[in-house]
Chain A
Amino acid sequence: MLEKALYGSKGYYVWIMLLLGIIGVGSIAYYTQLTQGLKITGMSRDVSWGFYIAQFTYLVGVAASAVMLVLPYYFHHYKAFKKMIILGEFMAVSAVSMCMLFIVVDLGQPQRLLNVLLHPTPGSILFWDMVVLNGYLFLNIVIGWTTLQAERKGVTPASWVKPLVYLSVIWAFSIHTVTAFLYAGLPGRHYWLTAIMAARFLASAFCSGPAILLLLALLIRRLTKYDPGKEAIQSLAKIITYAMCVNVFFFLLELFTAFYSNIPGHMHPFIYLFQGMEGHGALVPFMWAAAAMAIGCLILLIPPAWRNNENVLIVGLLMLFGATWIDKGLALLVGGFVPNMFERITEYGPTIPELAISMMVYATGALILTILWKVAISVKKEIA
């Protein structure tokens, strides 16, 4: 089936070349990082993780979101998702690949990566994160590819695929739970030390991931005339809206606990993020933009009449994406490190090379997604 990715329209080739170009430019930046070290980034002794790990965290959510299609389709036999489900599975493959790349580019000694396997340490959450991410990548490639191939041949998928599908549903929850545990188990990082972290991660994943999927599916419909179906679009929009409500609710719970308990350590990260502290407030405009977009997207998405209007839906989804990305792809990480362990403020901002390397990873993910979706849509059109 892979040969389907070799033939396409002129626009398809241009898009692939563009992605390869971005990857090329990013590679130069990554070469600099390999030879000079992470000093070319904006990270510091106080903010020792930055843009890379934040993107990794956000993309784990995007990957986990495939379950919002798989679960209704396989557990509840909700057939409307038939044409959408393969897009979700392949998007998970692309997202998990980006997660792993972001981890690799963040390492100080990437050539020692396999030490994680040579010296397996089950006490470390990072060890388990490697296990669940690789497992989820494997599950989605196998399930997506075999079901698509079976469909092409006009037969039902092999009987061993079903158990894998059920496993993948549970697995999707595990990848985001384990990723939340990376943060939620650390003493002294007040912004992260919260029992609701894994639940927040899942809620934000189940709105932001499907939102990205739906936006891309609508784009693909315009470009390739591959229509996932009106019912599928509206159902997914409904799921997204519910998940975003839960996501915002969970965030408000955090605010309540921090401010009603009045414990300074718990309030400080929120104050730094939303108001700034001691003259430092790099993230303040972003945080308020995120808050505005979160409320805005709920206003647009909750009334069914607005949500079912595709133009309004697209605006709502874009706002939702913006709000969740700032919350999880930026603020979550910085809020854990600022103020630091000495109640001092060291701010963080990514550097140009750091952003170029991130763009390289995003372009690689986009390339994987483009190829897989091209295959899937070509096959679907062939059998239609």
Chain B
Amino acid sequence: MRLRVWIRLTWPVVPVIMALLVTSIILILFGTSPKTAVGAMTEGAFGNLSKVLQVLGFLVPLMLSASGLLVTFTAGLWNIGVEGQIIIGAIMASWVALKIDLPTPLQITLELLAAIVGGAVWAGLVALLKTRGGVNEIFSGLALNNLAIILTNYLISGPWQPPEGGTFRGTQPFAENALLPLLGDSRFSPLSLVLAIIAFGMVVVALRGTFWGLKLKALGKNPKSAFLLGVSSEREVILALMFCGGLAGLGGGIRVLSWFDSLRQSISGGIGFLALLVVMLSSYQVFLVPPISFFFSAVLMGSTTLHLRTGLHPSLGGILTGVMVLFVLLFGDYGKLFTKRKKPSPPIVQEISHE
């Protein structure tokens, strides 16, 4: 009996250990000692103040997208299109930054609003295709992600190419007054972190304290009975997706206006997918999202440093986080693993159906 309690308490650590084990084996295969790698990664994430600020700068769009995804996951939706929503947000913010010139506060407000609208509209397309066209959100989202990437490439190689000619790398840098106020020499904007915290707070309140949150939960747990109780699934699906898209778009806008200073080729670079992993790892527990987002940001920044130091491919961070999430998904639920008895636990995320 005591052993069982022990296992239950230490269980959450197991995925972390497994992920470290798998990555260590891979590192040894490539002739790098895991100890050096961990050293380089920790230094890359927390070595000095500017590294920490870099982690925070990366964290903001990730946390915004993850907060949005909490809403869609609650409604039982797989918003894989979040990556594209980030990109469209970035494009819209860049559009305002390149074409409009206003005093700084107005300019930034307009840019961020455009980003929110862009992300929400892109997510609205997914919602419309789902509710009106019966197209599963996974496929439409994925196609729209790729279309957003292609649109970026088109813009930076065509209409928005820098005056010296299209290089396929990015637009010309935005004017100084179009950028978010940055902290010192870093690419981190404190204002953006405040926005991310406000957004996260809004999501917590919406999910826990409003009737809308309750309706979304009903929809996610059992769409049929929710419908019978008078929850309009079409309206809630559209609202949930557009809410998530708006936050993701804001994240994309912040990324071009602080992390970068122009629209670049891989503007998101997988932040949306990483946000999906964050929410999956949190097992949809709201308050786990910020710490996990922070941890993932640190891992990703660390693996970039590892790449610069040792030349190893930066996808190591992705492997580490991926293995961790996989183990949590498979073995995280201790109850399901060792007992043969059926436990009635309603699924939070509805399964894909091709109806």
Tell me if chain B binds chain A: no
Interface positions of B (Cβ within 8 A of A) = none
